[in-house]
């Protein structure tokens, strides 16, 4: 299947982008594997005619917004991110009416419709840097309360208002899980994604995006790591660091939507050019500005 996909990809001048959370065999066939920021940059820059996005829906939508002339296909259109739906248009409008100088900062894990109402997008790797650069005092951070509170801790001179969204996968990791895993692996460094609860983040040796966690491990002299994010990152961690040991905090840390992506679906949609992401032109126009601004402010 891998060979068939590679051949088809050449024939059609397609590029395969994969998030670290999709199954290992899908990551293995991808041209680029990365975190949300890296993949959105690659989607913007590509010269390919077709982008196959192996991830969840908001990622494919962002690729369409950043590169509307390309055909963006997804192996499974049902692969969605629960958090992306955890803020409403009404809530954003209500907050805008309360604060005159409000900037609505939108985690990229949100629907295209929500992005269209926001001032700037961020990912877990650039959120602090971008919020620091905004001229606005009042910030409404949507949809993730956990990434929002991580930013709030570091950007003290702004009034950061949180929304009640969260990632159900990262929220499952509890303080007690971390404490008991640390007891089992006393020499392990604890690395965590900022989508985890504040109490969990507090116990970490390092907090960052999936790519930041992977980079941290590569540069570290330590040999054992407790990983506070989705299990998919183990593929890259183990491939790049055969001399190091990695442990989950819970028995399983799985985003089932990411696991809907598989090689059979990938082959099928590429062969028949199915599952194209389509968005209203109006939404594309309005959502381009916050996404482009994110790329600009991250430079």
Bridge partners, residue 120, by sequence: 105
User: Is the CB of 123 or the CB of 204 nearer to ligand SF4?
Assistant: 123
- Closer by beta carbon to ligand 13P, 167 or else 263: 167
Choose among 84, 46, 137: nearest CA to 287: 84
Considering only 36, 40, 136, 181, the residue that binds ligand 13P (CB under 6 A) is: 36
How many Cα atoms sit within 13 Å of 245 on the Cβ side? Answer: 7
Q: Does 144 bind ligand 13P (CB under 6 A)?
A: no
62 binding ligand 13P? (CB under 6 A): no
Smaller CB separation from ligand SF4, 83 or 155: 83
257 binds, options ligand SF4, ligand 13P, none, Cβ within 5 to 8 A by partner type: ligand SF4
- The first and second tokens of residue 92, run together, are 């954003």
From the list ligand SF4, ligand 13P, none, partner contacted by residue 35 (C-beta under 5 to 8 A by kind):
ligand 13P
Select the residue interacting with ligand SF4 from 35, 197, 212, 230 (CB under 6 A): 230
Beta strands, E only, 124-267? 138-142, 159-162, 189-192, 206-207, 224-228, 245-248
Q: Any idea what the Cα angle at residue 248 is, between residues 57 and 81, rounded to 5°? A: 15
| Binding-residue pattern over the window 207 to 236 for ligand 13P, x denoting contact by CB under 6 A | --xx--------------------------
Are 22 and 258 spatial neighbours (Cβ–Cβ below 8 Å)? yes
Name the one range near ligand SF4 by CB under 6 A: 1-9, 76-84, 214-222, 272-280.
76-84
DSSP-derived letter for residue 85 is: G
Longest dimension (CA), the chain: 56
**Residue window 243-272: x/- pattern of binding to ligand SF4, with contact defined by CB under 6 A:** ------------x-xx--------------
Distances (CA, A) of 229 to 87, 204, 215, 259: 23, 12, 14, 15
Question: What's the half-sphere exposure (Cβ side, CA atoms, 13 Å) at 261?
Answer: 33
- For the segment 70-89, give every residue that binds ligand 13P (CB under 6 A): 81
Residues lying near ligand 13P in the complex (CB under 6 A) are found at 35-36, 81, 109, 123-125, 167, 195, 209-210
């Amino acid at each position: 299947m891998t060979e068939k996909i590679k051949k088809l990809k050449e024939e059609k001048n397609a590029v395969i982008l994969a998030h670290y959370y999709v199954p290992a065999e899908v990551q293995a066939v991808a041209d680029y594997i990365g975190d949300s920021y890296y993949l959105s940059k690659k989607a913007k820059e590509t010269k390919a005619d077709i982008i196959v996005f192996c991830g969840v829906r908001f990622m494919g939508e962002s690729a369409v917004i950043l590169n509307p002339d390309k055909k963006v296909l997804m192996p499974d259109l049902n692969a969605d991110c629960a958090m992306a739906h955890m803020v409403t248009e009404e809530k954003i409008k209500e907050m805008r009416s309360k604060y005159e100088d409000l900037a609505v900062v939108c985690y990229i894990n949100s629907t295209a419709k929500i992005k269209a109402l926001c001032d700037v997008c961020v990912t877990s790797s650039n959120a602090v840097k971008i919020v620091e650069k905004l001229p606005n005092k009042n910030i409404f951070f949507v949809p993730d309360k956990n990434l929002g509170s991580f930013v709030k801790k570091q950007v003290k001179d702004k009034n950061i208002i949180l929304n009640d969204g969260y990632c159900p996968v990262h929220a499952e990791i509890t303080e007690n899980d971390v404490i008991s895993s640390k007891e089992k692996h006393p020499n392990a460094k604890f690395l965590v994604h900022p989508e985890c609860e504040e109490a969990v983040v507090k116990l970490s040796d390092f907090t960052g995006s999936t790519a930041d966690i992977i980079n941290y491990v590569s540069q570290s002299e330590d040999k054992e790591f407790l990983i506070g994010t989705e299990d998919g990152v183990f593929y890259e961690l183990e491939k790049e660091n055969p001399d190091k040991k990695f442990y989950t905090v819970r028995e399983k840390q799985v985003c089932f939507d990411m696991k809907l992506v598989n090689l059979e679906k990938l082959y099928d949609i590429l062969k028949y050019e199915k599952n194209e992401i389509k968005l209203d032109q109006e939404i594309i126009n309005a959502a381009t500005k916050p996404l482009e601004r994110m790329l600009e402010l991250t430079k």
